Amino acid sequence: MAPESIYAHVNLRRNYRRRKILNTVMLSLTGVTVALAVLPLVWITVYVLLKGGRYLNLALFIHLPAPMGTPGGGVLHAIEGSLVMVLLASLLAIPVALLAAFYLLARPNTAVAQAVRFSTDMLAGIPSIVVGLFGYAVIVVTQKHYSAFAGGVVLAIIMLPVVLRSAEEMLKLVPPEMREGALALGAPEWRAALRVVLPAAMEGIVTGVMLGIARAVGETAPLLFTALGNDHYEIGQIVRQGLHYHQSMGQILGQIFGQPADALPLTLWKYAQQPYQERVQLAWAVAFVLMLFALGLNIAARAWLAYRRRKLYG
Amino acid sequence: MTQQPVALNRTDKPAAVASATKMVIRGVSVYYKTFRAIKNVDLPVYENRITAFIGPSGCGKSTLLRTLNRMNDLIPGARVEGKVLLDGEDIYAAGQDVVDIRRRVGMVFQRPNPFPMSVYDNVAFGLRLLGIRQKSILDEVVERSLRAAALWEHVCDNLNQSGMALSGGQQQRLCIARAIAVEPEVILMDEPTSALDPIATLTIEDLLQTLKENFTIVIVTHNMQQAARISDYTAFLSMDDDRAGYLVEFGPTVELFTNPKEKLTEDYITGRFG
Ligand SMILES: Nc1ncnc2c1ncn2[C@@H]1O[C@H](COP(=O)(O)OP(=O)(O)O)[C@@H](O)[C@H]1O
Ligand SMILES: [Mg+2]
């Protein structure tokens, strides 16, 4: 006797009706939640574009702030300060993060690896203002002055866990056969990592680096005690003065990193609370520039990745 | 004719015996975005028979197989033209219920993919999806399916062990048990033995011979000997200059291997190309 079919116990029509109803409910729910997730982004973007775009002009990018209460002026000091500090942070954090990520990949279960993973996760969880306080105690107090250097270092500390953990995750996604393929050809470990594994994971790593940079560009609190702020920070001026007094390259760089510096979010925060209308307008314009910066960075990275993908996969 | 000795161990193949047409691939082309991976394939799939797709790697065997239960729907940018009939009805027609089609046309994959749960729950997964909750029915069907997949003897002592703890060949048989538990009409298999050792491969090949009494089987294999050993019908696909896969020849396996009509088929089965 043939065994009884399971379909003696299944009501396909009822299953179908249930599935249709559930499907409709869930689909509507996801639609609503997607709208909820996108709404704030669109709202903020449009709002800042409208409020800040209005005050956008060339002066913003080439002039220092005008004295309080007078119209005009720009935020060159903040743009340059942000660039200097984020550049320093990137130079410090990215190589360290990538090398550490490769270590975690190659020796995933050693005590050191566990410790690195645990402490980067802890580091990622520390409020950025506490990192700033640390920079103040360790760098500012010992050097006895605020500086772009101190700002860059704390930003690097904030970037580090973001880049490290995302790079590790991306490297883990590379099939082990790729690394082994290189090793089997007699490639030393470092060469397999650099020439085969890294390029294979490049897309994800770049995304992680962008996240890290975006984090650093947007930080305000830790810069309060480290870079402090400086309305007169202008690299062109520092260089001109240095050349005038026949300073060496090192001395000029020392000036650039040794002075207190401003940053876009720091300027935004300060100007937004001043009683002068011109300053508040400038704050909106800075918000706009910050968003442009994030957008530009994203577009540049995507364009590069797309170009690279075309070259790799035809 | 220079014929490599291909083992046709079942000379009494019932291929000549008439069988109903279970599925029909009619004028099917498949696109991935703008790239055409399959062009204009016509092919029948006969009931209670094993149909094998063979051909060089990249010629679109997997792609064609996946049109049979609309798995290509899951790939963004994939598009299917033409018709695929299941019992005379086009599964791509508007209003078709893709969930129901996949219940009727099951699938076993290249890499064994047991779910991260016990052997029992793996097999009961599809049954529970169908709304079967009764322990006695679940127990019975789980056992029946595991027996049919020639796995019962190995796991009956401990149905609670994880499906992922089994050996590769056992995992694949678990996946077969899981697929047949919901009593599909057709089972698609995409190189089901290519990740397995020769012994496990033989076990699965034997299993297929018993399974075809109750199911219609379509199997992709890049191994010609395997196609010759196990299948009743063989479709040989190849690639055109534009890398689009097309059907070179279809016929009863014995005929295709002993008396191919196309020069290309002959070259392929004698190992001169591919
Ligand atoms: N998801 C996909 N996206 C784009 N192209 C694909 C995809 N899957 C397969 N292809 C392409 O379609 C062609 C046929 O692939 P496939 O069906 O996997 O061949 P086979 O199984 O015969 O080796 C190949 O050229 C392959 O690169
Ligand atoms: Mg394939």
* Contact: A5, B183; criterion CB under 8 Å: yes
| Cβ contact B196:B225 at 8 Å | no
Judge residue B56's burial from the number of C-beta atoms within 10 Å of its C-beta, 0-12 exposed, 13-18 middle, 19 or more buried.
Answer: middle
Pairing of strands B35-46, B78-86: unpaired
Residues of B in Cβ contact (< 8 Å) with A21: none
| Cβ contact B50:B228 at 8 Å | no
ipTM of the complex: 0.81
Tens of pLDDT, residue by residue over B173-186, are 999 999 999 999 99
**Number of domains chain B is built from:** 1
Residues whose CB is less than 8 angstroms from the CB of residue B32 and which lie 6 or more positions away in sequence, other chains included: B75, B77, B78
Residue A38 amino acid letter: V
Minimum-distance CB partner of A15 among B131, B134, B181:
B131
Asked whether residue B138 is domain-assigned, the answer is yes
Angstrom distance (rounded) from CA A40 to CA A54 = 21
pLDDT band, residue B5 (cuts 50/70/90): very low
Q: Given CB atoms, is A109 within the 8 Å cutoff of chain B?
A: no
Residue B14: pLDDT over 70: no
**Cα A52 to the center of its chain, rounded Å:** 22
Residue B8: pLDDT over 60: no
pLDDT at residue B9, as a whole number:
46
* Contact: B141, A6; criterion CB under 8 Å: yes
Residues 14-73 of A with CB under 8 A from B: 14-16, 19
Residue B16: pLDDT over 70: no
Residue B18: pLDDT over 90: no
Residue B6: pLDDT over 60: no
Which residue bears the tokens 């309080």? A68
pLDDT at residue B3, as a whole number:
44
Ligand 1: which residue has its CA nearest to atom 6?
Answer: B32
Ligand (nearest to CA of B237)? 1
Token readout for B261 is 């009509």
Residues of B in Cβ contact (< 8 Å) with A10: 130-132
* Contact: B137, A11; criterion CB under 8 Å: no
pLDDT band, residue B274 (cuts 50/70/90): low
Tens of pLDDT, residue by residue over A245-263, are 999 999 999 999 999 999 9
pLDDT at residue B258, as a whole number:
94
Minimum-distance CB partner of B97 among A3, A10, A16:
A16
Asked whether residue B229 is domain-assigned, the answer is yes
* Contact: B134, A10; criterion CB under 8 Å: no
pLDDT at residue A244, as a whole number:
94
| Cβ contact B163:B171 at 8 Å | yes
Token readout for A232 is 């007169």
Asked whether residue B175 is domain-assigned, the answer is yes
pLDDT band, residue B7 (cuts 50/70/90): low
According to DSSP, the residues that pair with B220 across neighbouring strands are B53, B190
Question: What's the whole-number average pLDDT of chain B?
Answer: 92
Residue A89 amino acid letter: A
Tens of pLDDT, residue by residue over B208-227, are 999 999 999 999 998 899 99
pLDDT at residue A2, as a whole number:
67
Tens of pLDDT, residue by residue over B24-64, are 999 999 999 999 999 999 999 999 999 999 999 999 999 99
Structural domain span for residue B36: 19-269
The CATH code of the domain that includes B44 is 3.40.50.300
CA distance B143 to chain A (A): 12
Mutate to test the interface with A, among B137, B138, B147 (most CBs of A within 10 A): B137
Q: Taking CA atoms, what residue in B is nearest to A5?
A: B183
Asked whether residue B8 is domain-assigned, the answer is no
Report which of A198, A216, A202 is spatially closest to residue A161, judged by C-alpha positions.
A216
Token readout for B188 is 């698609």
Give chain A's domains with CATH numbers: 53-313 (1.10.3720.10)
Residues of A in Cβ contact (< 8 Å) with B131: 10-11, 14-15
pLDDT at residue A96, as a whole number:
97
| Cβ contact A69:A276 at 8 Å | yes
Residue B188: pLDDT over 60: yes
Asked whether residue B198 is domain-assigned, the answer is yes
Tens of pLDDT, residue by residue over B120-163, are 999 999 999 999 999 999 999 999 999 999 999 999 999 999 99
* Contact: A14, B97; criterion CB under 8 Å: no
Listed as ranges, residues in chain A with pLDDT below 70 are: 1-2
pLDDT band, residue B11 (cuts 50/70/90): very low
Q: Given CB atoms, is A5 within the 8 Å cutoff of chain B?
A: yes
